[in-house]
Chain A
Amino acid sequence: MFNFEFDGNSIDFHDGDTVASALIRAGVKELRRTRFSSQPRSIFCGIGQCFDCLVVIDDVPNQRACITLARSGMKVRHQEGTK
């Protein structure tokens, strides 16, 4: 079992997990808020096509959580708007 950080909390993940799958397993419902109406979003297409599951990973915004493999020690943050 490995873990990464999401908004300061430790999230466990399995080998082969993406950032999104680890967060969903941990019960995280919301990955970001939208730019104009600040609506919550999570995964939608699950395969990297819809860009709805955007998170900030190691200070780089607009990373697709559903296709980014989870790595130990990465710092993931909830994203506000599209950067």
Chain B
Amino acid sequence: MKIGIIGAGPAGLAAARELVKADCEIFVFDSNARSGGQYWRHQKNTEFPEKKYSDISRDSRIQWHFHVSVWQIENLNPGFRIHYSGNGSSSSVEVEKILIATGSSERTLPFKNWTLPGVMTAGAAQTIAKEHRLLPGSSILIAGSGVFAMPVAKSLITLAGDTGITIELGIIEARSLIRWWRNIPGFILNPSKAIEALGYLAYAKKKRIKRISRSTVTEAVLKDGQISGVRVARLDREMKIVGDSYLLPCDALATSFGFTPDMTIPSIMGVHRVFKNSDAVVEVDDNQRTSIIDVWAAGEVTGIGGHELSISEGRIAALNIVGIRGGVRLAFARWKRLRQRIFADGLGRIYPIDSNWITWQEDSVVICRCEEVVFKEIVDSVNHLGADSARSAKLFTRAGMGLCQGRFCQRNVQDITERCTKFSGVDGLKERTSVKDANRETVRPIGGVVTLGELSD
């Protein structure tokens, strides 16, 4: 049986490992230069992350396609033809079944001057620190929301310690630590996670990481073209700004508001998508099957949940692909997935990104970095042109049409159009409601940038 796996992160690798045991012929595709996805991307000098995946790295039944972009998947009914490009040419391969395991992208929220050099995602700060031993600055702030700030802070402090550099580090978090009570069931079912969380708290205390809760960055402040600080504002429980903002000095800023599922491949294939915590995700059944026959999805494309949940989902998908319908192994994998999902859902309750972030914005703040579309243009497209979704706002304003294909703005434009349509009655326009349809919001004809030269061969 020939199986195509899109994405070589935790979910894709776990599935490949399981499928090899059943003697399948596997084709793995990934846009990165090596396997591991975002979670294991920093394991330098090892071709494959974690020991248990090194046994499949040289398995002749797996064909690895790295540094490629899957730009189209044809449904041959039965079977699929996967078109992928890379190194200046495009090729295709036919498979019987497909597993979508394309994971998620970092979510960022816009603020004044966030496009300027010196501001990067927390993921970028971690990447340059771990892969290239580079610090983004000597007085670094990590601003945003969610659990990712702590591992990034740890990477930066460890590198500074190794290289004998003194740095100052602070975390600005939109939510209060008190909210952790919302995940008590998750911690009870996943004690290792509770230990990990306590470990990070102790680390932050020991390393004197400054932690500013219930606050956000509203502006990167410049001096002589360089970042000299940020404006910080206090937030209430609904993530609305309360009181006056103040200036905090820094020379580098990393920002992260969690992760959002990458809907590129699900959209071009047309598998059914639904909203989960306001993110469009692939809808799957108990066996990780999607709405299309012979297509499965696993990992963060089905909802944000971390690498351990992704591994469980990848394994369950693989077991189902090879026709295992019962038994101890499947039952155990399902139980594991259940308790990991309970933990992930709890985290979602602690760190929801309220669409009130749009009330922080000034008209001139860039929302779409590629096409340089500002906040006011998107609001106007709703109020005056009748945009009712991120999709229609994109057609009016070009937000999301640039080279990144909307990865960094689509989710934010969705929040803006949703909120503006809710209040459009104010403008004397007819009351309208936004499109609450995950399938329409994420529709897309092709999966990536492909040049005519690549196609012509």
Interface residues of A (CB under 8 A from B): 14, 16-18, 21, 24-25, 29-31, 34-37, 39-52, 54, 62, 66-67, 82
In-complex Cβ contact of A46 among B120, B225, B407 (8 A): B120
Would B124 and A44 count as touching, CB distance under 8 A? yes
In-complex Cβ contact of A49 among B33, B372, B404 (8 A): B404
- Nearest B residue to A30, CB-CB: B117
Task: Tell me which residues across on chain B come within 8 A of A54, comparing CB atoms.
Answer: 403
Task: Tell me which residues across on chain A come within 8 A of B429, comparing CB atoms.
Answer: none
Given contacts A21-B132, A36-B372, contact A46 B402 (CB under 8 A): no
Additional 15 contacts, C-beta under 8 A, given A45-B105, A46-B125: A16-B131, A24-B128, A29-B117, A41-B116, A41-B117, A42-B117, A43-B124, A44-B408, A45-B124, A47-B38, A47-B124, A47-B127, A49-B404, A50-B369, A66-B124
Given contacts A37-B372, A46-B128, A47-B124, contact A25 B134 (CB under 8 A): yes
Question: Can you list 24 A-B pairs, Cβ within 8 angstroms, ordered by A?
Answer: A36-B372, A39-B115, A39-B116, A40-B117, A40-B225, A42-B118, A43-B124, A44-B115, A44-B121, A44-B369, A45-B121, A45-B123, A45-B124, A46-B120, A46-B128, A47-B32, A47-B41, A49-B408, A50-B370, A50-B407, A51-B370, A51-B402, A82-B370, A82-B402
Interface check B106, CB cutoff 8 A = yes
**In the complex, which of the residues A30, A37, A45 has the most CB atoms of chain B within 10 Å of its own CB atom?**
A45
Tally of B interface residues using CB under 8 Å: 33
Would A62 and B124 count as touching, CB distance under 8 A? no
Task: Tell me which residues across on chain B come within 8 A of A52, comparing CB atoms.
Answer: 115, 369
Interface residues of B (CB under 8 A from A): 31-33, 38, 41, 44, 105-106, 115-121, 123-125, 127-128, 131-132, 134, 225-226, 369-370, 372, 402-404, 407-408
Given contacts A21-B131, A21-B134, contact A46 B372 (CB under 8 A): no
Interchain Cβ contacts within 8 Å, total number: 93
Task: Tell me which residues across on chain B come within 8 A of A41, comparing CB atoms.
Answer: 115-117
Interface SS majority for chain B: loop
CA distance A18 to B32 in the complex (A): 13
Say how far A45's CB is from chain B's closest CB, in angstroms: 5
CA distance A57 to B89 in the complex (A): 19
- Nearest B residue to A34, CB-CB: B372
Would B123 and A46 count as touching, CB distance under 8 A? yes
Would A25 and B372 count as touching, CB distance under 8 A? no
